[in-house]
Amino acid sequence: MQITWKASEIASALQIAGRLTAGRARVDDRVSGAVTPLLQQLPRIFPAGDAAGLLAMLSQQVAAGCEQHHELAQLTLRKLTGPSGTTDAAISQLSAWLANLKWTVGQARPSGGQPLADELLLRAGPLRDQWDARGPGMMRAIAQMTEPWFVAEQAQVMLVLPVMGGHGVAHLPVNAVTIEAMLTNADDALPEVVRLVWLIAQLQFDLPLIADLVPPGQRERLARWAALPPALAAAQRVELIADTEASFARAALAWHLVETEPEAKKGAGTLATWWQTYQAGATSWPVAVAALGQMLSP
């Protein structure tokens, strides 16, 4: 599997903005105080929808490699609003807002004396070393446990500043993931490289073999849950975790699939039953994933 590592200032700025919008960022008061007024401008700049959706789509396009502000604004608005919302005025407004966000974060964050992108690539050194040592082996194990086509041939990994003490998002439509560049493991029982493997394992859930069996609105959520058991089982094979099923609840909570411990325990119980059934039977992986979707439905 081919991995491309990237880092950019606008990706980190959008990560901060997105997490502040969700009320979950851990940034210093100076950064928070500088970015919050910009977030208050978004309802005027993007009246067609919610700020969280806009920031998520912007982050997805940056993860795919689009970083020039005008092009980024144009592409994002086209995807979210269609031609009617992609006016020159709307593009210019959003483009100016992106430039302002990037500049504001750059001015407010504690500076290490080097460009942020270079700093992130240095910070990611331990994660990249862990990937080189164990990542390809874990992806092969996932292919053996599911289907050979289930592991993407390539993926882009966008590194961003840690604002949640460890976090990541899989961008299925663009075959890319965003992950915080942590210097150390947020939880030694769940190494960051396992989080990365879990994120990359989600990227094929939009293939028709799976997507056609899952309602579109449930695809991303189901991908996060269904990728968890094979990712953790692969980590156990390379001796990065001690026990697959014992890690379900811990990972569900640490990787933000749920917010509370009771929710994590409930989800872990469902996963354990589903994973045992899948391993013991002859059900195909796509059908098994669709079954998990039914089990997770309210």
Amino acid 125: pLDDT: 95
| Beta strand 154-160 pairing with 176-180 | parallel
Report the alpha-carbon distance of residue 148 to residue 1 in Å, rounded. Answer: 12
The answer to whether 24 and 164 have CB atoms below 8 angstroms apart is yes
- pLDDT grade, residue 235 (50/70/90)? very high
pLDDT over threshold 90, residue 82:
no
Within a 10 A sphere around the Cβ of 262, how many other Cβ atoms? 10
Q: What are phi and psi of 62, to 5 degrees?
A: -65, -40
CA gap 138, 116 in Å, rounded: 30
Q: Region 72-78: what's the mean pLDDT?
A: 95
**How far is the C-alpha of 23 from the C-alpha of 132, rounded, in Å?**
34
pLDDT tens for 112-136 read 567 888 989 999 999 999 999 999 9
- Lookup result for tokens 């080097």: 114
- What's the confidence (pLDDT) of residue 111? 66
* Residue-wise pLDDT tens digits, 151-175: 999 999 999 999 889 999 999 999 9
Answer yes or no: pTM beyond 0.85. Answer: yes
Q: Is the pLDDT of residue 109 over 90?
A: no
Name the residue ranges covered by the structural domains of the chain. 6-114, 124-296
Q: What is the pLDDT of residues 187-216, one digit of tens each?
A: 999 999 999 999 999 999 999 999 999 988
Task: Provide the pLDDT for residue 113.
Answer: 60
Q: Provide the mean pLDDT of the chain.
A: 93
- Which residues make beta-bridge pairs with 39? none
Secondary structure string (H, E, C) spanning the chain: CEEEEEECHHHHHHHHHHHHHCCCCCCCHHHHHHHHHHHCCHHHHCCCCCHHHHHHHHHHHHHCCCCCHHHHHHHHHHHHHCHHHCCHHHHHHHHHHHHHHHHHHHHHCCCCCCCHHHHHHHHCHHHHHHHHHHHHHHHHHHHHHCCHHHCCCEEEEEEECCCCCCCEEEEHHHCEEEEECCCCCCCCCCCHHHHHHHHHCCHHHHCHHHHCCCCHHHHHHHHHHHCHHHHHHHHHHCCCCCCCHHHHHHHHHHCCCCCCHHHHHHHHHHHHHHHHHHHHCCCCHHHHHHHHHHHHCC
Q: Per-residue pLDDT averaged across 272-280, rounded?
A: 95
Contacts of residue 285, Cβ cutoff 8 Å, sequence gap at least 6: 146, 147, 150, 210, 278
Higher per-residue pLDDT: 282 or 230: 230
pLDDT tens, residue by residue, 84-103: 878 999 999 999 999 999 99
CA nearest to 180, candidates 9, 2, 296, 12 = 12
pLDDT of residue 262: 95
Q: How many C-beta atoms surround the C-beta of residue 188 within 10 A?
A: 7
